[in-house]
Amino acid sequence: MLIDTHAHLDYPDFAADLDGVIARAAAAGVTRIITIGTGLESSRRAVALAERYANVFAVVGIHPTNVQEEPADFLDELRAIARHPKVAAIGETGLDYHRLPSEALPSSPAFAALQAETSEDAEAAIIDGAYKAAQAEAFRAQLDLAAELGLNVVIHQRSAWDDTLELLRPYTGRLRGVFHCFGNLPEQAADIAAMGHLVSFTGIITFKNAPLVREVAAQVAPDGYMVETDCPYLAPVPFRGQRAEPAHTRLVAEKIAEVRGRSFEEIAAATTQTAEHFFRLGN
* Chain segment 197-229, per-residue pLDDT in tens: 999 999 999 999 999 999 999 999 999 999 999
Give the residue ranges of the chain where pLDDT is below 70. Answer: 105-120, 283
**Residue 121 domain-assigned (yes or no):** no
Q: Into how many domains does the chain fold?
A: 1
Q: Which of 57, 45, 62, 34 is nearest to 11 (CA)?
A: 45
In angstroms, what CA-CA distances link 102 with 106, 122, 134, 140, 161? 8, 10, 15, 24, 20
Answer for the pair 155, 180: CB distance below 8 angstroms, yes or no: yes
Distance between CA atoms of residues 97 and 238, nearest Å:
31
- What are residue 234's phi and psi, to 5 degrees? 60, 45
Angle made by CA atoms 164, 167, 171, in degrees to the nearest 5: 120
Terminal C-alpha separation, the chain = 11
Residue 105 has a pLDDT of 55
**Residue 111 domain-assigned (yes or no):** no
**Residue 124 domain-assigned (yes or no):** no
CATH number at residue 216: 3.20.20.140
The domain in which residue 6 lies consists of: 2-99+130-279
Q: Which of 61, 66, 75, 220 is nearest to 151 (CA)?
A: 61
Question: Dihedral of the CA atoms 4, 66, 133, 169 (nearest 10)?
Answer: -10
Residue 126 has a pLDDT of 84
Residue 283 has a pLDDT of 56
pTM for the model = 0.93
User: 167 CB contacts (<8 Å, ≥6 apart)?
Assistant: 95, 136, 139, 140, 143
Tell me if residue 31 falls in helix, strand or coil.
strand
Residue 77 has a pLDDT of 98
**Residue 106 domain-assigned (yes or no):** no
Residue 169 has a pLDDT of 97
pLDDT digits (tens, 9 = 90+) for 74-115: 999 999 999 999 999 999 999 999 988 888 755 555 545 545
Answer for the pair 232, 223: CB distance below 8 angstroms, yes or no: no
**In the beta sheet, which residues pair with residue 153?**
90, 177
Residue 131 has a pLDDT of 94
Distance between CA atoms of residues 143 and 95, nearest Å:
12
**Residue 113 domain-assigned (yes or no):** no
Tell me if residue 138 falls in helix, strand or coil.
helix
Question: Dihedral of the CA atoms 148, 153, 159, 164 (nearest 10)?
Answer: 40
Distance between CA atoms of residues 142 and 162, nearest Å:
18
**Residue 236 domain-assigned (yes or no):** yes
**Residue 38 domain-assigned (yes or no):** yes
Residue 232 has a pLDDT of 98
Distance between CA atoms of residues 238 and 203, nearest Å:
10
Question: Quick one: DSSP state of residue 236?
Answer: P
DSSP E strands, 118-206? 153-158, 177-179, 198-201
Residue 209 has a pLDDT of 96
Q: What share of the chain is helix, strand, coil (3-state, %, to 5)?
A: 50, 15, 30
**Residue 222 domain-assigned (yes or no):** yes
Amino acid at 108: S
